[in-house]
Structure 1
Amino acid sequence: MSRHSNKEQKNTYVFQLEAMIEDDNHAAALEQLIQRMNRVGLLDYQITSGIQLGQLIKERKANAVSTIPVPIEQHSGETRQQTALPQTSAESAVHDAFHSFRKVMSNNTLIRLIVNRGLGIKMSIPCRIININENEQLLTIYHVDEKQVYTFRMNEIEDYQE
């Protein structure tokens, strides 16, 4: 006679939320959020984006009589290249790298990032990508071993491995 557990199978639920955290800078606020999320015992979580609210935005949101949602269209790299000026090979390489990093970030994939900090200092970091700022060419990662948040410029990143 085999023994089966009478315990019922639990259902899994996923919730989306927005959290507001005040701190001195983006990295400190993000680190605070990650530490809090790790403390509450969630099975898993994914931070998909973050914004900094400026004072003018806060005032206008507070004084708004009503708000109307506006859809945001996502454009692929091909669409961008058709409508923009021709890219140099370096710009194209950076754009391709950001495209790869966005895919890794959306899948919450654990990667090993190879970073050259200069003066012969190289780092091999097991991490998850938590934010990408293409305009500033910044990549914010969560170092899974150290449980720290780091931000690197794209010119510091030599390679990554999935």
Structure 2
Amino acid sequence: MAGCLENLQLPPCVWFEGDDKRNAIASIVAGVLFFTGWWLIIDVQAAYPQAEQFNKAYHVCGVFGTISLFMINSVSNAQIRGDAYSGGCFGSRGARFWLFGGFVMGFGAVIASCWILFDDYVAYGEGKYSAWPGVGLFLQNAFIFVGSLVFKFGRTEDHWN
């Protein structure tokens, strides 16, 4: 059975050819996600400056998420495959371990922010305080982690065009 839109021909998108611009687009999207995450937590801190509304120690989640972003994206895909990196103390095995540590740190930051959201703002908050600080903290870490994934896996090559 043929589809009803099978014979529909759309003209090619002349103004955008994404093959040679994939690295730039991935970098822009990752940067916007990273910026949005930090902008949200700055908004939370500005709106809720008292420690009983938003504890300043919760910023550690965002700091670890940012360190995770740098760890994940400091290792190229060629180093992970073992194509471009054979020197050093650990070689490609050390690069893989570094990447794994970055992913663990990023997942840990997202999980910790989710824990803080539900433990402090959903379960025990119950109307005393707004849930926005917890939601903002979770969104910050989720955006940073997704931004690091977009930057790592959205690029086609390990060098800039």
TM-score by length of 1: 0.24
User: Relative contact order (C-alpha < 8 Å, sep 6+): which is higher?
Assistant: 2
